[in-house]
Amino acid sequence: METSQIILAIIFPVVGYLVGSINPGYLLGKMKGIDIREEGTKNAGTSNTYHLLGLKYAVPTAFYDTFKGLLVIFIATIVGTPQFFALLSGILAIVGHVFPFYMNFKGGQGVATATGMMLFYIVAYLTLNINLLYFLIFEMILVGIFTYITRRGTLLALIVIPPFGYFIWVTYPGNPFNLFLWIILAQIISINVYNVITMKVIQITDENFTGHKWRVITRPLSILFVVFYVIYSQIIALLIIGCVAIIFILLDIIRFLHKQTNVVLHEKAKALFRKNEFQRFSSMSVFLVAFFVTILVFPKEIAIAASTFLIFGDTFGKVFGLAFGKHKILNKTVEGTLAYYGCMMICGYVLYTLLNVSPWILIFGGLSAPLIELFSMGINDNITVPLFSGAIMYVAFLGGL
């Protein structure tokens, strides 16, 4: 680099931080004798500015907070700053917003600035590949589904941003923008995770869930069985799943044969056994057996897809259905079923990029899984979903799709 470029490379990240540290909400609040960090939501951002100061103060706050990162990048690029450092200055604008020196390093959350930066990268990627436009339509469908279900922006970000980051990784490998975009996405996700937890956005009071929530929350970890199948072989995966299944089945048999043991396990190991499983095989045993059979009888790609649909779809359906379900449909909720479909869209896309299988097969499987779960009245959906959706995909495969 030339000397002038070196100087610009040093100066503009600092400029980015300083520009980012300018917080209109805080400064306008001070003019009105209010420290917005101590009132309302105690966040020095647009939303709190609106609630405390009104619309005429919130609009310029929103505008500046959203575009100040872009402003720094634009100026840095115009004066000839090397691309890496111009983009870095945008990241430093987010840092400045979150940790402004004159506010004792206690600023806003930086989501608005990060969102503005994300829009900049979306436009930049669109100039490289029109496929992003189609993916954005896909994302808008997800937004529509989960907006109807939750009406919570914090949850929307956690659902649509990870697939977007994955799309960028798959579609634009090695692009110099990627590192900066992923930093921005990570910042948005981390802030929204924090907000979801602290604001208790997801609240489930259903006793059947609260007593076994760790079984639902840890359910996605069973994807490790699929990973073993992918990395090693069908035999290894079957051996691992079979051994774990035998442990749970033996535990169930012991419960059935010894009533006192059954009572103690239901009292002391509530996370493993539900009340309605006192004289039945636990859903864990059923799930593992169905998992085993699915991998045994279907071709590899179809078995992986059917198992993935069960693992994640069931989790999404339960959590969103219990937390936000208002409209009953059979023994489920409309919201839970829609969340299942949203999950199938995400899983289907990821599987399409990873498996050598027709997208139509995945579409048939993804569309059928929530319906099978919905109509599995009286039958454990841990059995019906992987086996029936797997069968439907296999028929589609045999039909040449």
Q: What are the pLDDT digits (tens) for 292-321? A: 999 999 999 999 999 999 999 988 998 999
Strand, helix or coil at 329? strand
* Angstrom distance (rounded) from CA 160 to CA 117: 16
* Dihedral, 326, 331, 334, 336 alpha carbons, nearest 10: 90
- pLDDT at position 113 is 93
Q: Which residues pair with 329 in a beta bridge?
A: 332
- List the chain domain ranges: 1-108, 128-201, 207-398
pLDDT tens digits for range 163-194: 999 999 999 998 989 999 999 999 999 999 98
Average pLDDT score over the chain: 87
- pLDDT at position 363 is 95
Tell me the three-class secondary structure of 305-326, residue by residue. HHHHHHHHHHHHHHHHHHHHCC
For the chain, percent of residues with pLDDT exceeding 90:
54
> Is 36 exposed, middle or buried (CB count within 10 Å of its CB: 0-12, 13-18, 19+)?
buried
Output the six-digit token pair for 247. 């442990």
31-40, 111-120, 143-152, 299-308: least confident range = 31-40
- pLDDT at position 55 is 86
The sign of the dihedral angle between the CA atoms of 209, 214, 216, 217 is positive
Judged against a pLDDT cut of 60, whether residue 263 lies above it is answered with no
- pLDDT at position 17 is 95
Judged against a pLDDT cut of 60, whether residue 262 lies above it is answered with no
Q: Which residues pair with 137 in a beta bridge?
A: none
* Angstrom distance (rounded) from CA 49 to CA 58: 5
- pLDDT at position 4 is 83
In which band, very low, low, confident or very high, does the pLDDT at 129 lie, cut at 50, 70 and 90?
A: confident
Per-residue pLDDT, averaged over 349-370, amounts to 94
Output the six-digit token pair for 151. 């009406």
* Angstrom distance (rounded) from CA 400 to CA 35: 66
Question: In b/e form, how buried is each residue of 112-126, taking b as 16+ CB within 10 angstroms?
Answer: bbbbbbbebbeeebe
CB 305 within 8 A of CB 387: no
CB 362 within 8 A of CB 305: yes
Residue 168 to residues 30, 65, 121, 130, 357: CA-CA distances in angstroms?
41, 25, 10, 12, 21
Judged against a pLDDT cut of 90, whether residue 87 lies above it is answered with yes
Half-sphere exposure (Cβ direction) of 180: Cα atoms closer than 13 Å: 29
Per-residue pLDDT, averaged over 352-359, amounts to 92
CB 86 within 8 A of CB 16: no
What is the reported pTM?
Answer: 0.88
Strand, helix or coil at 333? strand
Judged against a pLDDT cut of 80, whether residue 264 lies above it is answered with no
* Angstrom distance (rounded) from CA 95 to CA 23: 12
Residues with Cβ within 8 Å of 27's Cβ and at least 6 positions away in sequence, in order, are none
- pLDDT at position 277 is 57
- The 10 Å Cβ neighbour count of residue 298 is 22
Residue 11 to residues 5, 83, 92, 378: CA-CA distances in angstroms?
10, 14, 12, 68
Residues with Cβ within 8 Å of 223's Cβ and at least 6 positions away in sequence, in order, are 308, 311, 312
Specify the pairing of strand 332-333 against strand 328-329: antiparallel
In which band, very low, low, confident or very high, does the pLDDT at 340 lie, cut at 50, 70 and 90?
A: very high
For residue 304, which phi and psi values (nearest 5 degrees)?
Answer: -65, -45
In which band, very low, low, confident or very high, does the pLDDT at 269 lie, cut at 50, 70 and 90?
A: low
* Angstrom distance (rounded) from CA 318 to CA 381: 12
Judged against a pLDDT cut of 80, whether residue 216 lies above it is answered with no
Residue 245 to residues 64, 272, 291: CA-CA distances in angstroms?
57, 14, 9
Helix axes 46-53 and 55-78, enclosed angle (nearest 10)? 150
Closest by CA position to 185, among listed 164, 205, 200, 169: 164
Per-residue pLDDT, averaged over 274-291, amounts to 76
pLDDT tens digits for range 228-239: 999 988 999 999
Judged against a pLDDT cut of 80, whether residue 10 lies above it is answered with yes
In which band, very low, low, confident or very high, does the pLDDT at 221 lie, cut at 50, 70 and 90?
A: confident
> Is 140 exposed, middle or buried (CB count within 10 Å of its CB: 0-12, 13-18, 19+)?
exposed
Judged against a pLDDT cut of 90, whether residue 215 lies above it is answered with no
Per-residue pLDDT, averaged over 10-24, amounts to 93
Q: Which residues pair with 359 in a beta bridge?
A: none
Judged against a pLDDT cut of 80, whether residue 243 lies above it is answered with yes
* Angstrom distance (rounded) from CA 315 to CA 370: 12
